[in-house]
Amino acid sequence: MNHALDTRHAALLLAPLTLLMLLFFLMPALSIVWTSVHGGQLDLAAYRELLTSALFRRVLATTFEISIEATALTLVIGYAIAMHLARLTPSARAVMMIFVMLPFWTSILVKSFAFTIVLGDAGLVNRAISWLFGTETPIPMLFNRVGVVLGMLNFLLPFMVLPVLGNLLAQDRTLQRAAETMGAGPVRIFLRITLPLSLPGVLSGVLMCLSLSVGSYITPALLGGRTDMMMANLVDFYTRQTLDWPAASAIAMVLLLITALIVVLLTRVRGGNVEVL
């Protein structure tokens, strides 16, 4: 017996979404391409200007720096959280998962606002530091790189914890027990068994976090300083401040290309599955 829908019915069911996406997803994407080459004249001036623009090169470098710093920090803390979760009983894990997923459900604006209160000169963190260490001068953590990286960490953690946790839970526990019986210490077991076996999950989480962070817009705008401008902010700057649409479109194309490369790697790692969570 055949459960499959025939092609005609499938086409009818798919038509509304596909049509809407052709008009309002593909068309907008194509108008970016079109605008970036000055209205289809195949004029590459906007791209040539990017190559010589000191601002663009600085922003490109900043984008990579912040993305790599945030992803690295997310990996360390996300891995510790995933290991902790993997050792819990399933019901305790379900409760703790709410903590991990909460940032995913919380508006990025709300999170950024919370950071502006906690990380300021008179904020909770600085008061705690001065109480603990008796220091007088507050550490600047807001409107600079520290603020952006911490804001991104909060946003990225769920995307790292989930793939790593999935991998840790799938690992055969008897391997670790065997190593323990043979006299291997915890560090050795971690480095030789747990970590290597979890590498696919780690890679998947790292690529996901990189692809999300290169496109960040809100976090650098609200928690960063002038020098922490990322590519998405530059797109907005050229679109709204200088009304230079070809430049904005050319930068958007570069950003899209970088993201596409990361996503292609990600689909390789995940064997064709591109679902985010």
- Residues 124 to 143 in contact with another protein, rule: CB under 8 A: 124
Candidates 42-50, 52-60, 179-187, 195-203: pick the segment binding another protein (CB under 8 A): 179-187
Of 20 and 55, the one with the shorter C-beta distance to another protein is 20
Going by C-beta distance under 8 Å and a sequence separation of 6 or more, which residues neighbour residue 48? none
Closest CB 208 distance from another protein, rounded Å = 10
Q: Is 154 in the site for another protein (CB under 8 A)?
A: yes
Among 44, 45, 118, 197, binds another protein (CB under 8 A): 118
Q: Is 21 in the site for another protein (CB under 8 A)?
A: yes
The single residue listed with the structure tokens 């990017």 is 50
Specify the DSSP class assigned to residue 148: H
Q: Phi first, then psi: give them for residue 122, nearest 5 degrees.
A: -105, 15
Going by C-beta distance under 8 Å and a sequence separation of 6 or more, which residues neighbour residue 55? 234
Among 168, 193, 232, 269, binds another protein (CB under 8 A): 232
Of 27 and 61, the one with the shorter C-beta distance to another protein is 27
Q: Is 194 in the site for another protein (CB under 8 A)?
A: no
Q: Give the three-state DSSP class for 22.
A: helix
User: For 236, what's the count of Cα atoms within 13 Å in the CB-facing half-sphere?
Assistant: 11
Q: Is 27 in the site for another protein (CB under 8 A)?
A: yes
Q: Is 111 in the site for another protein (CB under 8 A)?
A: yes
Candidates 31-39, 40-48, 54-62, 197-205: pick the segment binding another protein (CB under 8 A): 31-39
Is 246 in contact with 36 (CB distance < 8 Å)? yes
Going by C-beta distance under 8 Å and a sequence separation of 6 or more, which residues neighbour residue 227? 58, 62
Q: Is 191 in the site for another protein (CB under 8 A)?
A: no
Among 67, 167, 204, 211, binds another protein (CB under 8 A): 211
Structure tokens at 112: 């950024």
Closest to 63 measured CA to CA, from 263, 258, 261: 258
Candidates 38-46, 50-58, 170-178, 234-242: pick the segment binding another protein (CB under 8 A): 234-242
Q: Is 263 in the site for another protein (CB under 8 A)?
A: yes
Among 89, 183, 241, 271, binds another protein (CB under 8 A): 183
Structure tokens at 273: 């599955």
Is 213 in contact with 66 (CB distance < 8 Å)? yes
Specify the DSSP class assigned to residue 120: S
Residues touching another protein: how many (CB under 8 A)?
A: 91
User: For 182, what's the count of Cα atoms within 13 Å in the CB-facing half-sphere?
Assistant: 9
Closest CB 83 distance from another protein, rounded Å = 6
Closest CB 134 distance from another protein, rounded Å = 21
Span 47-106, contacts to another protein by CB under 8 A:
76-78, 80-81, 83-85, 94, 96-106
